[in-house]
Structure 1
Amino acid sequence: MNKQIKVFAPATVANVACGFDVLGFALNEPGDEVILQTTDSNEVTLSKITGDGGKLPLDVSKNTAAAVIKHYLAHIGSRQGIDIQLHKRMPLGSGLGSSAASAVAGLFAVNELLGSPLTRAELLPFAMEGERIASGAAHADNVAPALLGGFVLVRSYNPLDIVSIPFPKDLVATVVHPQIEIRTEDARSILKKSILLKDAIQQWGNIGGLIAGLIQGDYDLIKRSLQDVIIEPVRSLLIPNFDKVKQAALESGALGCSISGSGPSIFALSNSLAIAGEIASAMRKELKVIGIDCDVYISPINNVGARVLGVQQEKGENLVFTHSSYAND
């Protein structure tokens, strides 16, 4: 009896200013959807991709969602045939964890489809392999929040140690995605190979301050700590008008503003939806000055992560569909 499942995995903001490769949080939207169906073929197949403009490969070994599913099945010793449909609901090369969302959606879906033999935390290493396929680096600051939800700290990569960080419930993210593309590999290639000790000390202090501010709900401490003295000064050169966009966000009431992941998306944090909307308008205006359109997303921190949208299974000659509503609590 073949079964089918539909899963959503959210976009994420990684680095969060000072936390290069170690901090990230999940958004409510955008994100990716996958539809998985069991088959009798004993093979993993990728039958359909939409929303990518034809850019993503149907080759199972090169697609993040398909490759991690195949790796997962080998790990649990299953020869279950799986067919995948991937629906991209977010822009590629946006700095919002597009490859992570695909990998997480696929993994979470196949795990649910097979009765959840692994916990969410146990799925993380497989999702990280999807990041290695996409960018050459198996980082976790996108896949961890996409899978687990919330605000996460990657305390260690060897061994992998992921910590969920409490955060104020009225914290809101404003994200603008300029209509340009920056490849993760390119954004990594321009980074400095060494940094000054004084800069490292300042960055460590900001990471500690940001985490303390989140836990304590201290917005002033969060504001003082959302500073990146190492990565942002280099990567911001790839984003047109970045300095003015950031200044506009801060003048509109943002607690802080920086690059989301490797860019070109830019995020700002605030403590109300009203302020988040004003920030969005100000940031969009500065991009329009130089003729660049952008997508805008305003979202509380998504505390759910990947979620099931619906399931189907054979019942007689018909397929029965059930739908689980979204809840961010």
Structure 2
Amino acid sequence: MKNIKIKVPATIANLVCGFDILGMAINEPYDKMEVKLLKTSDIIIHHTDDFGLPVEASKNVAGIVLMKIQEHLNIKNGFELTIHKHIKPGSGLGSSAASAAGAAFAANALLGNILTKEEVVHFAMFGEELASGVRHADNIAPCIYGGITLVKSSDPIDIISLNAPALFVAAVHPQVEVKTSDARQILKKNIQLKDAITQWGNIAGLIAGIEKNDLSLIGRSLNDVIVEPVRSILIPEFETIKRKSLELGALGGGISGSGPSIFMLAEKKETAQKLAHMMKSVYDQIDIDSFVYVSDVNKTGISIEEQNF
């Protein structure tokens, strides 16, 4: 029986100003997945965590991806999937994207790599649609490609890999719930032209800074005048953490995906460690449990740990 074991990275979507178009893969936290190719058409899902995620394929972000691949390729084989989830659902660190992208990646490998990377992204996006109601690829793309990615277009899919600088990330996940669907609904439907111009400048500056490895330009461009002002009200102590992070030497940062996680970028690991300590202490002081992560950029995306073909 063909089977594969993979390691799937967490991701940080938007990178502050790049709503739905920018994303970055990080090394901590990550999920592990084991996928077997079955002779029957069944899709069997197992979870080893206590998050209470559904195991019915049509209601599971990984399951729906496998169903779409079956349907599109008209194959009779099914899949048995075991997910060891360490990226907590609802964290804003790409938990649903990890499951969806991992399922698409593994299925493609088991079927002989008959899909292009763009097609793997296409099928993984069905999982994001199930999770949030929107087919977006800002988490999916870096999870599959690694590093920092620009989603130039979702239809047709056009993904551009950027030259990720050697940066470190400090992230905190306060144990409060912010649903992606809710975080999208509160966004403004119309924006002022002056805000759009400011945002376009920040996105362009951020991409230029990444490509030129200009840390100062990256820092100056990590500013969001459209989404963050609205979403940040859902996250306790967001402004405090952002202010203290800059005081401690962070290049900048903001909300990871739709939240509630907050991330900050730093040039040195020692700075990122100080940021993580500060982040946790802020939430400890107001009796909110939190998890903190210090990581570098994952430049490879999903990796194969073992395969038996």
Q: TM-score, normalised by structure 2?
A: 0.97
The answer to whether the 8 Å contact 2:103/2:124 transfers is no
Number of residues of Structure 1 aligned to a counterpart in Structure 2:
309
Q: Where does 1:175-186 land on structure 2 (aligned, <5 Å)?
A: 175-186=171-182
CA distance in 2, matches of 1:251, 1:274: 14
Instruction: Tell me whether 1:146 sits opposite 2:143 in the alignment.
Output: yes
Task: Give the match for residue 291 of structure 2.
Answer: 295
Matched with 1:198 is: 194
Distance (whole Å) between structure 2 residues aligned to residue 101 and residue 296 of structure 1: 19
Q: Secondary structure at the match of 1:117?
A: coil
* 1:39-78 map, 5 Å: 39-46=38-45, 48-54=46-52, 56-78=53-75
Match in the other structure for 1:15: 14
Q: Which deviates the most, 25-34 or 98-107?
A: 25-34
Aligned AA (1:145): P
2:163 to 144, 162, 166: 166
Query: In the alignment, residue 3 of structure 2 is paired with which amino acid?
Result: Q
Higher deviation after alignment, 98-107 or 84-93: 84-93
Identity of aligned residues (%): 50
Deviations 1:89-133 (A, max 9, x none): 111100011110001111111111121111222211101111001
TM-score, normalised with respect to structure 1: 0.91
The structure with the largest alpha-carbon Rg is 1
- Are residues 1:29 and 2:28 paired? yes
Task: Report the Cα distance in structure 1 between the residues aligned to 2:185 and 2:136, rounded to whole angstroms.
Answer: 15
The one of 221, 227, 233 equivalent to 1:225 is: 221
- Counterpart CA distance in 1 for 2:153 and 2:117 is 17
Unaligned runs of 5+ in 1: 314-329
Task: Say whether the 8 Å CA contact 2:102–2:302 is kept in structure 1.
Answer: yes
Moved more, 207-216 or 276-285: 276-285
Map Cα deviations across residues 38-95 of structure 1 (whole Å, 9 max, x no partner): 222222222x1122432x1111111011110121122223211211112211111000
Shift of 1:293: 2.0
Moved more, 8-17 or 283-292: 283-292
Superimposed CA distance per residue, residues 111-167 of structure 1 (whole angstroms, 9 cap, x where no aligned partner):
111211112222111011110011100000000001111101111223221111112
Contact 2:39 2:76 in 1 (8 A): no
Partner of 2:185: 189
Aligned partners of 2:245 and 2:275 also within 8 Å: yes
The one-letter amino acid of 1:191's match is L
Aligned to 2:189, the other structure's residue is in SS state coil
Separation in structure 2 between the aligned mates of residue 188 and residue 272 of structure 1, nearest angstrom:
33
Task: Check conservation: 2:167, 2:268, Cα contact below 8 A.
Answer: yes
Say yes or no: does 1:208 pair with 2:204.
yes
Shift of residue 250 of structure 1? 0.8
Give the counterpart letter for 2:108 in structure 1. N
Q: 144-153 or 26-35, which moves further after superposition?
A: 26-35
Query: What's the C-alpha RMSD, in Å, of the aligned pairs?
Result: 1.2
Structure 2 Cα separation of the partners of residues 75 and 30 of structure 1: 32
Cα distance between partner residues in 2 of 1:146 and 1:243: 28
Which stretch shifts more, 116-125 or 195-204?
116-125
* d(CA) in 1 for partners of 2:150, 2:220: 19
Q: What is the identity, as a one-letter code, of the residue corresponding to 2:42? A: E
One-letter identity of the residue aligned with 1:64: V
Q: Supply the AA of the counterpart residue of 1:241.
A: E
Corresponding residue for residue 113 of structure 2: 116
Deviations 1:263-300 (A, max 9, x none): 00000011111111111112222222211121111111
Q: Which residue of 2 aligns with 1:134?
A: 131
Matches within 5 A, 1:265-284: 265-284=261-280
Match of 2:252 in 1: 256
2:246 matched to 1:247? no
Structure 2's unaligned 5+ residue stretches are none
Contact 2:100 2:127 in 1 (8 A): yes
Q: Which residue is equivalent to 2:307?
A: 311
The answer to whether the Cα contact below 8 Å between 1:131 and 1:139 also exists between their aligned partners in 2 is yes
Contact 2:22 2:151 in 1 (8 A): yes
